[in-house]
Structure 1
């Protein structure tokens, strides 16, 4: 394996583990995670139903994207999905002024 390919694989797996673990630990405590998100965004311009919905599906999205990155399944598409998810998270964080 070429050094560039090795770096790419290690980055993909590292990012995959990070995203996967976020989803993995949140799924069992989905209700408390979702409630925390709704409470965090209570003073933002986002309607609570959007935060509630996003808080419900986010852990599953994280789990799937992370798993796909770890195993290298559809890496190009999964990377785009992961970057889109992170962009949404950054946007939300900006709305709470964090």
Structure 2
């Protein structure tokens, strides 16, 4: 049950991040491009990332909450967070990094125990 609750918590966080950004995707993109305008990252990289990020967060969050393709979703979620840590470093947003590190910690710890503790999941139901 503890694995399920931790999976649900981190999945809900990712799902929520993506969900609230979807209706305002162009505004979110404009905000992110503006935030990175003085960074080393070119707008040609920031713009597509800013559109892909909410979609990726939403999709990965849904998969983690459902426990579907859990191993892949936890890995993808970790890569999303690692890219956000890199981006936060590029704009010296040191305040955002602890939250991103906590997400990575949750995701990677869940990944370690996924095979043996992912009892309440669609993955488990489809393996029977």
Flag whether TM exceeds 0.5 (same fold).
yes
Give the aligned partner of residue 13 of structure 1: 8
Residue 56 of structure 2 corresponds to residue 61 of structure 1: yes
Give the aligned partner of residue 3 of structure 1: none
Give the aligned partner of residue 50 of structure 1: 45
RMSD: 0.5
**Matches of 2:41 and 2:12 in 1, distance apart?**
30
Deviations 1:60-81 (A, max 9, x none): 0000000000000011111000
TM-score w.r.t. length of structure 2: 0.72
Structure 2: unaligned runs, 5 residues or longer: 94-128
| Counterpart pick for 1:28 among 23, 28, 53 | 23
Deviation beyond 4 Å, 4+ runs, structure 1: none
Query: How many correspondences in the alignment?
Result: 93
After TM superposition, give the deviation of residue 96 of structure 1 in Å.
0.4
Structure 1: unaligned runs, 5 residues or longer: 1-5
